[in-house]
Amino acid sequence: MRHTRYVIVGLSFLVVLWLPVASTRAQQAVIVAGKSEYHKSCAVCHGSDGKGRGAMATLLKVKPANLTRLSANHDGIFPFWDVYRIIDGRKEIGGHGSGDMPVWGTVFKQEAGADLGADLSAHARILEIVYYLESIQAAPRGKP
Ligand code: HEC
């Protein structure tokens, strides 16, 4: 019986140690998926480093934004849901309706087909991209 107690304590300890590892892995998987989505759909305009110098940038009337400065432009806080809504594009957003950026919510939904899951799939792809963008934000000025 004494051994059982040690085994339980030992196992609980392992679970506690493993949890942060598991959540870091999940986070990495989402960001990696977002990175590949970004390279497929966004890099042509915003550049592979997100700084707005993609191959198509010179052809556009309105220059693609530097996506590594989203936090810096918002007092150091990543504007998560604003970014989400800009990418989705299905809701009107003042200033972003120039027509130079595709409406990704509609594109992703069309790619997924017409069933109920299409909307969810589009939401998931947008979320992955937003998490990826959050991960590439430039450090605030004055910090390394
Ligand atoms: C055809 C070129 C093009 C593509 C492809 C494109 N964008 Fe853009 N994007 C723009 C332009 C141009 C702007 C700035 C002008 C505007 O506001 O409409 C912009 C603005 C943005 C902004 C707003 C930035 C700010 O400072 O407010 C975000 C966020 C953004 N794009 C994310 C993305 C993401 C994510 C993708 C890929 C899913 C993407 N864009 C694909 C052209 C593009």
Ligand 1: distance of its center to the CA of 6 in Å?
A: 56
Q: Is residue 9 part of a domain?
A: no
**Residue 118: both structure tokens together:** 């299409």
Q: Which regions of 2-137 does DSSP assign to beta strands (E)?
A: none
Count of C-beta atoms within a 10 Å radius of residue 97: 11
Q: How many helices (H) and strands (E) does the chain have?
A: 5, 0
Instruction: Please report whether residue 17 resides in a domain.
Output: no
Q: Which residue has better confidence, 30 or 108?
A: 30
Q: Which one, of 139, 128, 101, lies nearest residue 35 by Cα?
A: 128
- Atom from ligand 1 closest to the CA of residue 62: 12
Whether 3 is in a domain gets the answer no
Residues 125, 49: Cα–Cα separation, whole Å: 19
CB of 65 shorter than 6 A to ligand 1: yes
Q: Is residue 40 part of a domain?
A: yes
- Domain assignment present for residue 54? The answer is yes
Pocket flag, ligand 1, residue 126 (CB < 6 Å): no
Q: Which residues of 113-123 are buried (b: 16+ CB within 10 A; e: fewer)?
A: eeeeeeeebbe
> Has residue 132 got a pLDDT over 60?
yes
pLDDT at 143: 59
Is the CB–ligand 1 distance for residue 43 below 6 Å?
Answer: no
Q: Are 128 and 34 contacting, i.e. CB atoms less than 8 angstroms apart?
A: yes
Check pLDDT > 50 for residue 95. no
- The answer to whether the Cα torsion of 63, 55, 118, 82 is positive or negative is negative
**DSSP at 144:** -
pLDDT in tens, 50-67: 999 999 999 888 889 999
When divided into structural domains, the chain yields a total of 1
Tokens of 91: 């809701």
- Whether 96 is covered by a domain: the verdict is yes
* pLDDT at position 97 over 60: no
Is there a domain that residue 18 lies in? no
With respect to residue 44, please indicate whether it lies within any of the assigned structural domains: yes
Query: Residue 90's CB: how many other CB atoms inside 10 A?
Result: 13
pLDDT value of position 99: 62
Least confident of 22-26, 76-80, 111-115: 111-115
CA nearest ligand 1 atom 24, residue:
65
Give the residue numbers spanning the domain of 94.
Answer: 31-135
Which of the listed residues 31, 36, 40, 46 should we mutate to test ligand 1's pocket, taking the one with most ligand atoms within 8 A of CB? 46
pLDDT digits (tens, 9 = 90+) for 4-45: 888 888 888 888 888 888 888 889 999 999 999 999 999 999
